[in-house]
Amino acid sequence: MGASQKDFENAMNQVKLLKEDPGNDAKLKLYALYKQATEGPCNVPEPGVLNSISKAKWDAWNALGSLPKEAARQDYVEFVSSLSPSPKSCSLEGPGANRSLPESEDIVVTTEENITTIMFNRPTKKNALTNEMYQDIMLAMKAASKDNSTITVFTGSGDYYSSGNDLTNFMKISGDLKQVAKESSITLRKFVDSFIDFPKPLVAVVNGPAMGIAATVLGLFDAVYASNRATFHTPFSGLGLTPEGCSSYTFPKIMGRAKATEMLIFGKKITATEACAQGLVTEVFPDDSFQKEVWARLKAYAKNPPNAMRIGKQLIRSTEKENLHAVNAEECRVLQERWVSEECMNGIQNFLSRKAKL
């Protein structure tokens, strides 16, 4: 008998719990089997050779040809079991012992003690946000807004909170640049809307540097706890870009116009202590006790009556909502134009060529 949907879901959870990185070949195989099992034969255009990672993923998926979904599901389950021979011994300590079905490999969603945690989980790329991750985060937020948790937390795995938008995203969408910019603008608008409209207290546990969109949306969170290792950096102008995540409104409101200008226009990187003094961060903790102190506090807060917290949050947010949506729409409109500008192309190219030299 083939693997059931439940076996498949269990296997996906086991992958998240692997103690050791299984290596790139295994990850490609997992990716390909997952896609085949959930979407069937490869149905997306072949990425260009410049996108080596996307190309490798596409090749692996495409190589499965017309393998039926059920067979791919079975192969996935067997392969995961060969990677983790004793799944029962796998467990998570601390927050997140109970995982819900992961939407993608790069976002991990867990619920424990009334707290749903959405973790950026792409540490080798400093948790840079791929197109897929934006979609998965929106799905995770939608689910979190309806689950039984009282508080929702964002955090990052590894040494970064997130380095913001993955600067190779544009190369991964097929179509002409104008069309890509249009689609990205639509995605960005929906993504930021999810933060504006999120109904429960939303907390960021900023474990390390936060850049770009990962930093700007913090202005839409209800509390931001940061390790003293964290920094906050929005290098938009250098990339030929303009502020997003409603930061053109929230940052001046939170920290005053002059400080917001230094960050958003001049690209000044600030420390967690500076961000706290300026009101973007709620409290800073020494890195060595950060996780322990923050999670103890959040667990205590999460015991408060859920409706009171939700309604209280909405009272604070309601006077701002209309404004925030208008700001978001305008920021996305402007960015759609920026993305096709020479300044932006040069900015992204500079990052990519810096990489090529490494």
Ligand X SMILES: CCCCCC/C=C/C(=O)SCCNC(=O)CCNC(=O)[C@H](O)C(C)(C)COP(=O)(O)OP(=O)(O)OC[C@H]1O[C@@H](n2cnc3c(N)ncnc32)[C@H](O)[C@@H]1OP(=O)(O)O
Residues that bind ligand X (CB under 6 A): 125-126, 128, 134, 163-168, 184, 187-188, 211-213, 235, 239, 241, 244, 351, 355, 358
| Residues forming beta bridges with residue 283, ordered by sequence position | 225
AA identity, residue 105: E
Q: By C-beta, is 75 or 244 nearer to ligand X?
A: 244
Q: Which residue has the tokens 């990187």?
A: 269
| Residues forming beta bridges with residue 177, ordered by sequence position | none
Q: Shortest approach of ligand X to residue 192 CB, angstroms?
A: 9
Consecutive H or E run containing 183? helix 177-196
Q: Shortest approach of ligand X to residue 152 CB, angstroms?
A: 21
Q: Shortest approach of ligand X to residue 317 CB, angstroms?
A: 22
AA identity, residue 123: P
User: CA 208 → CA 17, 161, 195, 229, 237, distances in Å?
Assistant: 22, 5, 21, 5, 22
Q: Shortest approach of ligand X to residue 125 CB, angstroms?
A: 4
Q: Within 10 Å of residue 294's Cβ, how many Cβ atoms?
A: 22
Q: By C-beta, is 8 or 134 nearer to ligand X?
A: 134
Give the DSSP letter string of 303-345: TS-HHHHHHHHHHHHHHHHHHHHHHHHHHHHHHHHHTTSHHHH
- Quick one: tokens of 223? 């509390």
Q: Shortest approach of ligand X to residue 301 CB, angstroms?
A: 29
Q: By C-beta, is 79 or 170 nearer to ligand X?
A: 170
Q: Shortest approach of ligand X to residue 24 CB, angstroms?
A: 11
- Quick one: tokens of 185? 């603008």
Q: By C-beta, is 150 or 247 nearer to ligand X?
A: 247
Q: Shortest approach of ligand X to residue 298 CB, angstroms?
A: 26
CA distance 304 to 299: 10
- Quick one: tokens of 286? 């020494």
Q: By C-beta, is 49 or 358 nearer to ligand X?
A: 358
Closest Cα partner for 232 from 197, 250, 189? 250
Q: Shortest approach of ligand X to residue 252 CB, angstroms?
A: 19
Q: Shortest approach of ligand X to residue 163 CB, angstroms?
A: 3
Q: By C-beta, is 268 or 313 nearer to ligand X?
A: 268
Among positive and negative, which fits the CA dihedral 185, 201, 158, 100?
negative
Give the DSSP letter string of 34-103: HHHHHH-S--SPPPPTT-HHHHHHHHHHHTTTT--HHHHHHHHHHHHHHH-S-GGG----STT-SBPPPS
Q: Shortest approach of ligand X to residue 94 CB, angstroms?
A: 26
Please give the residue whose beta carbon sits closest to ligand X in the complex: 212
Q: By C-beta, is 12 or 217 nearer to ligand X?
A: 217
Diameter over CA atoms, the chain = 66
Q: By C-beta, is 102 or 235 nearer to ligand X?
A: 235
Give the three-class secondary structure for 115: strand
Q: By C-beta, is 156 or 235 nearer to ligand X?
A: 235
Q: By C-beta, is 201 or 209 nearer to ligand X?
A: 209
